[in-house]
Amino acid sequence: MNAEELFETGSPLARRLAAEGLEGEATIARARRLLGELSEEEKVATLNAHPRIGDKAARMSAHSRREQGDQEAPDLERLNAEYERRFGFRFVVFVNRRPRSQIAEVLRGRLRRSRQEEMQEGLKAIVDIAQDRLRS
């Protein structure tokens, strides 16, 4: 699989990886290294290219719909909005087939962290998600 199949289309990270033309694990390894080379603006744009947890299925990629499932978690919309106000980018987590109710608890806990911690955690999650997609 290439970068366009592993990462959300249109993010600066995905565009840079696609330009390098790597495949499979080489793409994942390069993505981890590339995170440190992205500007602040590119990091935020990469996070914001990922769909919101619990968003409407019509606005998600097929990968995201499968990963997030369709369980109800009414707090997610409010928690996502609070997170985006606080940090200035979207909450990204490797769902790893956990129910949305459990993800809402993770989001609540992460609201107590610093912006820098959250940016690093979200970007790491993007690559972890891509690695899981590669293995699926």
Hey, what amino acid is at 107?
L
Instruction: Show the beta-strand stretches assigned E in the chain.
Output: none
Each of the 136 residues of the chain gets a pLDDT tens digit; together they read 889 899 998 899 999 999 999 999 999 999 999 999 999 999 999 999 999 988 764 444 555 545 555 555 678 999 999 999 999 999 999 998 888 889 999 999 999 999 999 999 999 999 999 999 999 8
For residue 64, give both structure tokens. Answer: 């995201």
**pLDDT reported for residue 130:** 97
Q: Helix (H, G, I), strand (E, B), or coil: what is residue 77?
A: helix
Q: Where are the domains of the chain?
A: 3-135
Per CATH, which fold does 3-135 belong to?
A: UraD-like (1.10.3330)
Instruction: Spell out the alpha helix ranges (H) of 56-111.
Output: 62-68, 75-87, 100-110
**pLDDT reported for residue 100:** 87
**pLDDT reported for residue 53:** 87
**What is the rounded distance in angstroms from the CA atom of residue 70 to the CA atom of residue 16?**
32
Apex 32 CA angle, 30 and 38, nearest 5: 90
For residue 8, give both structure tokens. Answer: 């959300």
Enter the pTM of the model. 0.85
**pLDDT reported for residue 56:** 61
Count, residues in the chain: 136
